[in-house]
A and B are shown apart, each in its own frame.
Chain A
Amino acid sequence: MTSRFRSREFWTPAMATGAVLLIALILIAVLAPLTLKQAAEQLTPNAAQEPSAAHWLGTDDFGRDLLARALVATRLTLLMTGGAAAITVLAGVVIGLAIWLSGRRVREAALRVLETAVAYPSLIFALVIAAVLEPGVSSAVIAIGIAGIPGFARITANLASSISSSEYVVTARLLGVSPVRIALRHMLPNMAEPLLILSATVFALSLVEISALSFIGLGVQSPEYDFGRLLNDSLGALYTQPVEAVGPSIMIAITGLSVMLIGDALAAHADPRAKRRFFRRALQRNRTVAVPVGDAALVRVENLRISIPGRQELVKGISFAINPGEVVALVGESGSGKSLTAMAIAGLPSEDLAVEADGVRVGDMNMLAEPNQSRLAKEISIVYQDPGTTFNPSLRMGSQLTEVLRTHLGLGGAKARNLITEALAAVNITEPAKRLRQHPHELSGGMRQRAMIAASIVTSPTLIVADEPTTALDVTVQAEVLRQFRRIHREQGTAMLFISHDLGVVEALCDTVLVMKSGEIVERLTSGQLAARNVHHPYTKALLAAIPVLDLGRTPVVAGAETP
């Protein structure tokens, strides 16, 4: 924990500014009442003066220094705001956890009550409470504190419910850990970070609301004063001496700003995505390259390097080629760089990665330049790993599957639908016309993946990039999907770049196998060499040894006898 707070990433400009402001405010809160009380509260004959060297913000109707009053008011304001925020946060966390701990019926009822309470603006809620109580410091704190509770309790309950379905909470429950202990031991520590960040928001909101209460006279009463009370005092002289409102206004703004800066910085720190540094990738100008005479390869990759800028090199200068109609596999374990390589070739590298190479071309398309969208869509198709997230759940299959045909090939809706219906039938999808009217969730995972493959071939691409297309599928469905890839390859002669961690899958489908490890190609094999286990690199040997081999305890049946 401590090292995290010392790191340079933690001290962003926002965090540093917020922290400096907050420390300054705390110092003012401590010191100002000790040193400036006299100037702030002593009645003098210098009434209603304009700003001057002696009185930077002038004086009020009683001859008191307005700057001193604003500074002295910091202590009371911070204490009240802190008190109200503490009530909101503590009671909110307790109630939120209690709701999660209670039975289903109580929980449902309590959540509905909270939702109703949240629907009312908390300031109105606070006004009612403050009006019922005797006006004063403590009633303002209580009113604002209580008014914030429903919102915070609801957030806590929501966080708790998402954590309660996590596997470590389920396991703890199975071990017989009591619900209260689960809440204290597992849930609270794991939601502390978001709750802390939200507390900063609660503090800023409480500040504004307490100031508002005091401003309308339901909060701090004379002779005590906070920022809101000072604003109220300035109201009477707003036309004659508007500068009187400046001091408390600025102080409210600074206090709110300091806390929000810290809250934002904490939130950014907690979210790893916010930490990424975006940069503009250097793109080459020429969209096409001249293919040298005699170079028959469809895809040529030369010295491809992919890195997180300024940090780590993920792909370390690899070169390979894919011939027309060739099926090439990139095999490796997580972190080997195989998917990064595939996406760079497909023209879709991640935004925050630097891609450099002596050349990456598909046909004559220069993949290091911004590719022509339409050619990209027609000539390269991509099949992703997870059929569950490939499709937009809110759109029908038809409009998603025909999109490329309609936008890039300029086909009409009916014609595009006909083409895709044929393609769906070709990958053994039953009732293809009906499927087009369905939403993705109505299809099984295997069916979605076959639909994806169907969509990937209707444009007659020259290259299909498939990124672990069968990893998320059942073994019987995987075999069926692989058969479809094989059939497409046979019938259309499409070249493929097939990413997998499974040498067994690769062996059955691919002509050439490239084994990747830590961003480098360590071995190149033909399918024949792989089938004969004629491999040399220790890593390839280890990979092969790691795959459990099915042993049916008998000699294989005649090839082709098995019917799918």
Chain B
Amino acid sequence: MNPHTTLAVAEAAAATATYAAAVRQLNVSFGSAHVLKDVTLAVPAGRVVGLVGESGSGKSTLGKTLVGINRPTSGEVLIGNKDFTMVRGKARQQMRREVQYIPQDPYSSLSPRRTTGQTLAEALDPRGADPVKHGDAIAAALERVKLDPSAADKYPHEFSGGQRQRVAIARALMLEPKLVIADEITSALDVSVQADIIGLLQGMRGTVDSAMLFISHNLAVVQEVCDDVVVMFQGRIVEQGTIDAVYRDPQHDYTRKLLASVPGSPDFTLD
């Protein structure tokens, strides 16, 4: 095969356990639909990994399997060095908190009847969810996503889409999880708001220990935000590597087609 599709990255990471999360030989089926086929992938600690592919390629399913929304048919889901699929009950709840999820649509990801403070407090302390008790942590979390501390007392309808998405990002980082899954978090935003969020994610590099799996269909955004990229096609990983390596010298036909389809790409043409 080609240099990027080898499992070497995953294997090496798995051996030294410097990855935040990994999946090995993962298969997921819904009824007769085989959505993920033998997917092996490691997200190294502290790195931002872009996951690209078209709708139906299985990228969202992979994200949802990592957070535990979908159950794998076979294979391992490793968080830290524990197999997520093997634990049950309290330990599973605890592991769940190690992987956080940011949904696509900022208009439905925040409860309309809860203030930002209450929403963030709930992430820290699911039982009490007391925004007063966790006031300092909430202020720090808002600071991290460049929101004013007064945002803690506001309800979602008082925010713009971009501000809501910042709150959703702050919530996901509240527990300093090993891995954050960002599922198309800029797709529903206007380009200028998308640019703000990209700037925010770039600015957070180095200050946040969590690794991120950045699911997106926008290759230009992935290039701005991510260190590595993983290309999925029809339920399989067809190529993975650093952004520079894959974008400069794509090996798989599908990756080439994907890169050439972006308007503004040097290879893009309508003729």
B114 neighbours in A (Cβ, 8 Å): 185-186, 189
Interchain CA distance A562-B100 in the complex, whole Å: 40
Residues of A within 8 Å of B221, CB to CB, are 548
Residue B203 CB within 8 A of the other chain: no
How far apart are A178's CB and chain B's nearest CB, in angstroms? 7
Does B75 interact with chain A (Cβ within 8 Å)?
no
With A174-B100, A562-B267 in contact, is A550–B122 under 8 Å at CB? Answer: no
Question: Do most interface residues of chain A lie in helix, strand or loop, or is the interface mixed?
Answer: helix
B112 contacts the other chain (CB 8 A):
yes
Residue B230 interfacial (CB < 8 Å): no
Alpha-carbon distance A505/B264, docked complex (angstroms): 8
Q: How far is the CA of A140 from the CA of B223 in the complex (A)?
A: 70
**Residues A555 and B266 in contact in the complex (CB < 8 Å), given A445-B55, A474-B55, A547-B191:** yes
When the two chains form their complex, are residues A549 and B244 in contact, meaning their CB atoms are under 8 A apart? no
Q: Which of B190, B261, B263 contacts A333 (CB 8 A)?
A: B190
CB-CB under 8 A for A560 and B126, given A167-B108, A546-B192: no
Q: Flag whether A6 is at the interface (Cβ < 8 A).
A: no
Q: Is the pair B54, A557 in contact by a Cβ cutoff of 8 Å? A: no
Q: Within the complex, what minimum Cβ distance (angstroms) separates B186 from chain A?
A: 9
Measured CA separation A220–B270 after assembly (Å): 81
* Residues of chain B from 114 to 147 with CB closer than 8 A to chain A in the complex: 114, 122-123, 126-127, 129
Contact B103 A175, beta carbon cutoff 8 Å:
no
Q: Are the C-beta atoms of B100 and A543 separated by less than 8 Å?
A: no
Stretch from A27-35, A396-404, A405-413, A478-486 contacting the other chain:
A478-486
Going nearest first, the 6 A-B pairs with the smallest beta carbon separation are: A556-B266, A504-B263, A546-B195, A474-B54, A548-B220, A189-B113
Given A168-B110, A174-B101, A551-B247, do A505 and B270 touch, yes or no (CB 8 Å)? no
The CA of A167 and the CA of B266, in the complex, are separated in Å by 38
Report the Cα distance A142→B260, complex, angstroms. Answer: 71
Q: Which of A108-163 contact B (CB under 8 A)?
A: none
Q: Using Cβ atoms and an 8 Å threshold, which residues of chain B touch A389?
A: none
Query: Residue B24 at the A interface, CB < 8 A?
Result: no
Given A475-B261, A486-B271 in contact, is the A552-B247 Cβ separation under 8 Å?
yes
* Residues B220 and A171 in contact, CB atoms below 8 Å apart: no
Cα distance A454–B191 in the bound complex, in angstroms: 30
Q: Write out the residue numbers on chain A whose beta carbons fall within 8 Å of the beta carbon of B159.
A: none
A559 touches B219 (CB 8 A): no
Q: How large is the interface on A (under 10, 10 to 19, 20 to 34, 35 or more residues)?
A: 35 or more
When distances are taken between beta carbons in the complex, the residues of chain B under 8 Å from A221 are: none
In the assembled complex, the Cα of A71 lies from the Cα of B168 at a distance in Å of 57
B212 to nearest A CB, angstroms? 16
Given contacts A474-B54, A548-B198, A557-B266, contact A168 B109 (CB under 8 A): yes
A166 at the interface (CB under 8 A from B): yes
What would be 19 A-B contacts, judged by CB atoms less than 8 Å apart?
Answer: A167-B103, A167-B109, A168-B109, A171-B168, A174-B69, A175-B122, A189-B111, A474-B55, A475-B217, A475-B218, A479-B268, A486-B270, A501-B191, A504-B262, A504-B263, A508-B269, A543-B192, A555-B266, A562-B268
The reply on A310 being an interface residue by CB < 8 A is no
Point out the residues of chain A lying under 8 angstroms from B68, CB to CB: 174
Contact A190/B112 with A177-B126, A478-B261, A553-B248 known, Cβ cut-off 8 Å? yes
Q: Verify if B4 is at the interface (C-beta below 8 Å from A).
A: no
Whether a CB of chain A sits under 8 angstroms from the CB of B259 is yes
CA distance A525 to B54 in the complex (A): 32
Against B, the Cβ 8 Å flags (1 = close, 0 = not) of A526-564 are: 000000000000000011011111111111110111100
**Which B residues touch A548, using CB under 8 A?**
194-195, 198, 218, 220-221, 223-224
- What is B's interface to A at a CB cutoff of 8 Å? 54-56, 67-69, 93-94, 96-97, 99-101, 103, 105, 108-114, 122-123, 126-127, 129, 168, 171, 175, 190-192, 194-195, 198, 217-221, 223-224, 244, 247-248, 257-271
B194: chain A residues at CB < 8 Å are: 546, 548
The CA-CA distance from A540 to B266 in the complex, in Å, is 22
Given contacts A546-B191, A559-B269, contact A186 B111 (CB under 8 A): yes
A86 to B238, alpha carbons, bound, how many Å? 60
Residues of A within 8 A of B261 (CB): 475-476, 478-479
Cβ contacts under 8 Å, A174 to chain B: 67-69, 96, 99-101
Least distance between B203 CB and chain A CB atoms (Å)? 15
- Check if A61 is an interface residue, CB within 8 A of chain B: no
Q: For chain A residues 499-522, which have a beta carbon within 8 Å of chain B?
A: 501-505, 507-509
Q: Tell me whether A334 is interfacial, beta carbon within 8 Å.
A: yes
- Measured CB to CB, the nearest residue on chain B to A553 is B248
Q: Smallest CB-CB separation from B264: which chain A residue?
A: A504
Tell me which residues across on chain B come within 8 A of A251, comparing CB atoms.
none
Asked if A190 meets B111 with Cβ closer than 8 Å, knowing A176-B96, A504-B264, A550-B219, the reply is: yes
Say which residue of B126, B247, B262, B265 sits within 8 Å of A178 (CB atoms).
Answer: B126
Query: Are B122 and A177 in contact, with the CB atoms below 8 A?
Result: yes
Q: A475 and B101: CB pair below 8 A?
A: no
Q: A479-B261, A552-B248 are in contact. Are A171 and B171 (CB under 8 A)?
A: yes
- Complex formed: what's the CA distance from A186 to B192 in Å? 32
Q: What string of 1s and 0s marks CB contacts (under 8 Å) between A337-352 and chain B?
A: 0000000000000000
Set of chain B residues within 8 Å of A559, measured between Cβ atoms? 269, 271
Contacts of B190 in A (CB 8 A): 333-334, 501
A160 vs chain B, min Cβ distance (A): 14
A20 at the interface (CB under 8 A from B): no
B97 touches A176 (CB 8 A): yes
How long is the Cα–Cα vector from A175 to B97 in the complex, in angstroms?
Answer: 6
Shortest CB distance B26–A (Å): 19
